[in-house]
Amino acid sequence: MKRAGRFSRPRPTFFHKQGVAATSPDQIIDASGAGKGQFSHYFKNKEGLVHEVLQTYLEAIRNGGGPLSYDITSWDDLEQWFIAPSARSETR
């Protein structure tokens, strides 16, 4: 997973804000500062990147290094869990 980190780190923001279907590979490539050739080298398609992003999140959760608290005990906690990635990206 480390090999494609340039693509998988900032992309969850696009996926949270716009949804996976509305996020184009070109947006991902432009935001990463890499070229299309690099993207194609690591991923067959956008679904490959989505898989990488999800694996990165799961790894962070398993290691306790996730950016969010996963102690969800109410509907409000769950709502905040979904909103938090977008809120963090707006402050960057």
DSSP category for residue 57: H
Q: How far is it, in rounded angstroms, from Cα 33 to Cα 42?
A: 15
Q: What was the pLDDT predicted at 33?
A: 84
Structural domain of residue 43, as residue ranges?
2-90
DSSP category for residue 63: T
Q: What was the pLDDT predicted at 2?
A: 47
**What is the chain's pLDDT, residue by residue, as a tens digit (92 residues)?**
445 666 655 556 788 788 889 989 899 888 888 889 988 888 898 899 888 888 887 887 777 776 655 677 888 888 877 776 655 444 44
**Angle ∠(75,50,33) on CA atoms, nearest 5:** 115
- Which pTM value belongs to this model? 0.59
Q: What was the pLDDT predicted at 85?
A: 60
Task: Residue 28: give its domain's CATH number.
Answer: 1.10.357.10
Q: How far is it, in rounded angstroms, from Cα 41 to Cα 37?
A: 6
Q: Domain tally for the chain?
A: 1
Q: How far is it, in rounded angstroms, from Cα 52 to Cα 4?
A: 8
